[in-house]
Structure 1
Amino acid sequence: MRDGLSQEPSIEPQIELTRENLIREQDGDSKSIIVETNNSKTTKNSNLHNVIIHPRLKPAPFKIRDAYPTDLPKPTEICTVNDLKFYQNEELPVNRRGFKYKLCKPNPIFTSNYYSTTDIEPYEVSLSWFDRSTGSYLSQDCKALTSNQGWRSVRSNVGIREGIYYFEFKILKSDDYSHVRIGLGRREASIEAPVGFDGYGYGIRDVGGELVFISRRKNVLIEEGFKTGDVIGFEVHLPSLSQQKKEIEEFVNLKKSEIPDHHTTKKRKTNTKNKKFNNIEDNEKFNEFNNILRDQIPTKSKGVLYYDQFEYTKTKMMDHLLNPITVFGEKAIIEMDDKTKNIPIISNSKIVLYKNGVKQNETIENLYSFLPTNLEEIEEINLEPNLKQQSNPNYKNNDDNTLGYYPMLSTFQNGAVSLNAGPEFEYPPENTQIKPLSDRYNEHVIEEWYWDIIDEVEAQYLDSFD
């Protein structure tokens, strides 16, 4: 490796770190490295070119020392389960309260955004140090999970948006006192509860092998359940994104036709100082070309650079699906209406299950859609958008490229389970056309790299009006 080049397998292009292509070092060390730009000259130039310029949070130039690899906080060994050591890393932030995190680093060829996405070891599909509940412990290779308290969950670092993928869960410890649940979960699925707790995930119990959805036990998916040593294979089928978006468009048009004639559109007021409004017409224009919008702000904590992003949060309708009760003063009324009719599904989606290589008879079909719907909230017919970012007052029903279904693992009282994304499986699928989930990592790296470049090009264009 040449001097001055990072040895880290990075998402952004590697370039030589010389003083000529670095920004001059500044004094001080701010935690939030952003500055807001908006002046009369920008407004005048944008009007001249018929371009709408919104004030943006512009990152401050990085420091020379930020351009060199920084040691991440080291995990601490906590416990051992069946001869496998598990670790905790309390220095890394975890996704919660409407925000999520990922690593970033300076990119000297970016003259407007200054930073681009990178990743944490082991640079493959694994369990995420960021996307887990507190009190959960991971193995050194980030493939296995355990906890010594109540239910704790973790998602993988890469999700599935389309295509057919296969992966395995190996049960490392499950008995009368220690339990495991496995399944798929969306971004909104709670990691402070087992998978299947809400409508954002589909979980399978070790005891009985039943499907758990919105905290209700459903039909048996794995005959006689599973225990220590068993291997459960997941074959996930999702149609192409173009087909999913076509179905979402049809769903939105259908729901708009059901809106009562006497209903008037309500504009949602944001918390910005300008008192601007978000409405359906604005969102339709904004998402006309299937925009991917990543509101990510570089921040520094304990010497490590992160992107701080808005996370998707649960909607009122999905919350009522879990708890169908309305409280009026001291009275609680059970809601009897069918809320599932206003939740879009992914047609022809399914999860085929295997136990120790044996295909199971039951499947999970017609998963709930993870894509946004450009709808307004209408309480009288229990209608609202499919997605929400509670911490983002300017959310426009857009996709940030993290939407999808993620392998999700949950453990209880020293239960332990591992994820095998391939390409080597204990019980490989017979159909060789099915991709191992491990293939998604390189695709994910390319996607992040691609959108980093798109964001930089857009930022350079907007900055040209300054």
Structure 2
Amino acid sequence: MARIKLTIGRPSLDEETFVEPPRRSARNQDMSAGEDSPQREATPTGTLPVSVPQKRALEDDHQPAVSSPLNPDFKSKDDAPLARERASRAKKESLKKRESKAGSLAPDTSARATPDPKASTSKSKKEDEERLEPIRYKLPPPKSTDFEAPRGPVFIPAHIKTAPDGTKIQFNETTDHVYNKKNFHYTHCIADPAFPSSLYYRQSETEPFYPRLNFEDTSTHMFLDEGGRHITTDKGFRMAKGNVCVREGRYYWECKITSGIPKRKRSDAHAPESDNGHVRMGWARREATLDAPVGFDAYSYGLRDVKGQKVHMSRPKDFFPPGEDIREGDVIGLEINLPSESLHRKVVEGHYNPAVDLADEGNTGIERADIIRDRVPIRFKAHLYFEQIEYHSTKELEELMNPSPVISSSGGVGGASQEPYPTHAVPALRTLPHSSIKIYKNGQLIGTPFTNLLAFLPPASKPLPQVGAREGLDDGMLGYYPAVSVFRGGASEVNFGPDFWYPPPGFEDQDDEVDMIGSDQPTTTTPDQQKLRAVGERYDEQIVEDIVYDIVDEVDFWMQDGGVSGTGVTKSAGISVPSDMAGGVLGSEIKELVQEDD
């Protein structure tokens, strides 16, 4: 049979050889040989023209580097490339294939429904990732003494100081209690007969039952009165924090200088400025060290009595007007403004867009994050405490405070060489929009020394890296605490309200209807337009929150145990606790804590 050479069109320049059409099969040759009709010409084949345009996928280089104000939910190429999402589009199944899978497509309640192993596995895995639970311990049954109300520290009289108004103040040394140091945080607890499952204990408070300085959250070698409102020391700078924290909204407290720079300057120019010590006051986070003054690191914002300077990361800067300072008898008011937790979480999770989130709309229908408290009861001198791993300073903020020339020249630690801002690549270096600290002196507004405060919700705050520490968890006590530091005889008195010595302007004339914190109705007011509250109002709120968190944990454990009380952790399958973690797996007795003063 003669071969037919057929060329369609003009060949391309690089096409030098002719592509022969494929031979027909033997079956087709036999069939065609017996037919009288003329032989069909073979369909010509060859290389496709190179000029046919092909559909090009969207490349990563054409994606915007940051989200657009009109499209704030756009994900960059680091998160999920758009081209990859389009390329993985599901292929439509044929009708026959869909009919064969009719059983699995039926509702779950249908008798012909068949389970999908892949779907159930992925679903359960996703639920496990989203569902966070506190670590469980095998605890011994409580003793009869564990049901007694917790007691505060033992006060040993130290010395008496005279306030500028002539009042005598008895300062005491505190003992028989633990300090929040050595990378752990302590809160009082008590056995509760209403918790018969595996939790057994709940958080509690000690006398006096009102907002004050926290006896456990003070440095060593400090002296306090029995009411927890006066503080002094004969050592170098030490810090004490309040027993309440602020997480959102506007709050105010006062600090009176009991002993510090005298009102009248000395006639002898060569004499020291003050023999009565110094005082600093401000706001501090959990991570702020207690063995240093307020404003020492990136976790606190302070105000010096000398010249009224503001201090942050140990960098004093002029703030008070020239000739003004802080002396004995002065009352310094400190107001903090923090955005809503919803906006705060947008910032720390990287979803904040300054072009879209122009105002703080409050907590509008957004579910709060779970409060997870990994803690274990311990015993200290017949006292019961919850011990949990403390949040710790991060290397990025340490580098920001003390930049290393070698590290800074190479771009810093994870971009720490850049100044903090709300959309920083490092969560610890992200700041809160609409946040600020205002300072008052004897009721008169001096100014706003600090704005754009650093965020504190996880992952901006991280626990100390050790066995048992889990990042990304919020224990409900993260925030900014009232803090005061004293130095070598300096003394002060705190007032958390609501009866202030010098109420800020408009504080007593506020209408309760303007308070939108916690309301279900959306609000677009800025923090400065919200109601100014006393820090002391957070005391009762924190107690309510602790009660709710304890009940949630107990009910959760009770459900894991199949609704049977007193079974403990043994009936919970799949729960493993490392034996060398903080507190360990408790056996027949709760761990006894040994802590010595430095």
Q: Shift in Å at residue 248 of structure 1? A: 2.4
The gaps in structure 1 that reach 5 residues or longer are 1-46, 255-287, 374-384
The yes-or-no answer on 1:216 pairing with 2:296 is no
The Cα offsets for residues 23-52 of structure 1, whole Å up to 9 and x where unpaired, read as xxxxxxxxxxxxxxxxxxxxxxxx9x9686
Say if 1:138 and 1:54 are closer, same or farther in 2 by CA, change over 3 A: closer
Question: Which residue among 419, 422, 427 is the counterpart of 2:494?
Answer: 419
Q: What residue is the counterpart of 1:238 in the other structure?
A: 338
Distance 1:251 1:147, change over 3 A: farther
Identity between Structure 1 and Structure 2 (%): 35
Pair 1:243–1:55, CA change in 2 (3 A): closer
Look up the match of 1:41: none
Q: 1:142 aligns with which of 208, 213, 228?
A: 228
- Correspondent of 1:66 among 146, 150, 156: 146
By how many angstroms is 1:194 displaced? 0.2
Aligned residue runs from structure 1 range 25-424, under 5 A? 56-69=136-149, 71-82=151-162, 83-112=168-197, 113-175=199-261, 176-177=274-275, 178-221=277-320, 224-250=324-350, 290-325=369-404, 337-338=417-418, 340=420, 341=424, 342=426, 343-373=429-459, 386-391=461-466, 393-424=468-499
Shift in Å, 1:73: 4.1
What is the DSSP-based 3-state SS (H/G/I as helix, E as strand, rest coil) of the residue aligned with 2:350?
Answer: helix
* TM-score, structure 2 normalization: 0.59
| Cα contact 2:288–2:300 (8 A) shared by 1 | yes
Specify the SS of the correspondent of 2:548.
helix
Rounded Cα–Cα distance in structure 2 between residues aligned with 1:416 and 1:407? 16
Question: For 1:168 and 1:54, how far apart are their aligned partners in 2?
Answer: 37
Cα deviation, residue 212, structure 1: 0.6
My pick for the range that moved more, 126-135 or 341-350, is: 341-350
**Structure 1 residue 462 corresponds to structure 2 residue 560:** yes
CA–CA separation in structure 2 for the residues paired with 1:423 and 1:144: 17
SS in 1 for 2:138: strand
Q: C-alpha distance in 1, partners of 2:183/2:135?
A: 23
Amino acid at match of 2:196: T
Q: Tell whether the 8 Å contact from 1:325 to 1:334 is kept in structure 2 after alignment.
A: no
| Bigger mean CA deviation after superposition, 355-364 or 155-164 | 355-364
- Relative to structure 1, is the Cα distance of residues 247 and 235 closer, same or farther in structure 2, using a 3 angstrom cutoff? same
1:100–1:227 CA distance, 2 compared to 1 (3 A): same
DSSP 3-state at the match of 2:391: coil
Q: Which residue of 2 aligns with 1:269?
A: none
* Structure 2 residues not aligned, in runs of 5+: 1-120, 163-167, 262-273, 355-366, 511-530, 563-570, 573-598
Indicate if the aligned counterparts of 1:372 and 1:397 stay in contact, CA closer than 8 A.
yes
Query: Post-superposition shift, 1:325?
Result: 1.8
Matched residue type, 2:344 = Q
| Residues 219 and 239 in structure 2, CA contact (< 8 A), matched pair in contact too | yes
Deviations 1:387-440 (A, max 9, x none): 333345441211111100001000000100111001111111233232111111
**Deviation for aligned residue 1:452:** 0.6
Rounded to whole Å, the distance in 2 between the matches of 1:407 and 1:110 is: 33
Q: Is the 8 A contact 1:204 1:221 kept in 2?
A: no
CA contact (8 A) 1:210 1:222 kept: no
Write the distance in 2 (CA, Å) between the matches of 1:399 and 1:78: 39
Aligned CA-pair RMSD? 2.6
Question: Does structure 2 retain, via aligned residues, the 8 Å contact 1:312–1:390?
Answer: no
For residue 545 of structure 2, the aligned residue among 444, 447, 451 is 447
1:410 partner letter: S
Worse-matched range after superposition: 170-179 or 240-249? 240-249
Q: SS at 1:89's partner residue?
A: strand
Aligned-residue offset at 1:225? 1.8
Q: Could you tell me which amino acid in structure 2 is paired with residue 420 of structure 1?
A: N
Q: Does structure 2 retain, via aligned residues, the 8 Å contact 1:221–1:363?
A: no
> What is the DSSP-based 3-state SS (H/G/I as helix, E as strand, rest coil) of the residue aligned with 1:93?
coil
Q: Which amino acid aligns with 1:309?
A: Q
Contact 1:106-1:116 at 8 Å conserved across structures: yes
Q: Is the 8 A contact 2:294 2:301 kept in 1?
A: yes
TM-score normalized by the length of structure 1? 0.74
Find the structure with the greater CA-based Rg. Answer: 2
Confirm or deny: 8 A CA contact 2:372 2:473 kept in the other structure: yes
Match of 1:428? 503
Q: Distance in 2 between matches of 1:73 and 1:91?
A: 5
State the Cα distance separating 1:130 from its structure 2 match: 0.5
Give 1:226 shift: 0.6
CA distance in 2, matches of 1:321, 1:229: 36
Q: Distance in 1 between matches of 2:539 and 2:144?
A: 30
Q: 1:222 to 1:355 in 2, by over 3 A?
A: farther
Which has the larger strand fraction?
A: 1
Contact 1:168–1:419 (CA<8 Å) still a contact in 2?
A: yes
**Secondary structure at the residue paired with 1:244?**
helix
What residue identity is the alignment partner of 2:159?
C
Q: 1:240 and 1:392, CA in 2 relative to 1: closer, same or farther beyond 3 A?
A: farther
Count of residue correspondences: 372
Q: Is the 8 A contact 1:292 1:400 kept in 2?
A: yes
Counterparts of 2:195 and 2:317, CA distance in 1: 51
Q: State the Cα distance separating 1:216 from its structure 2 match.
A: 0.6
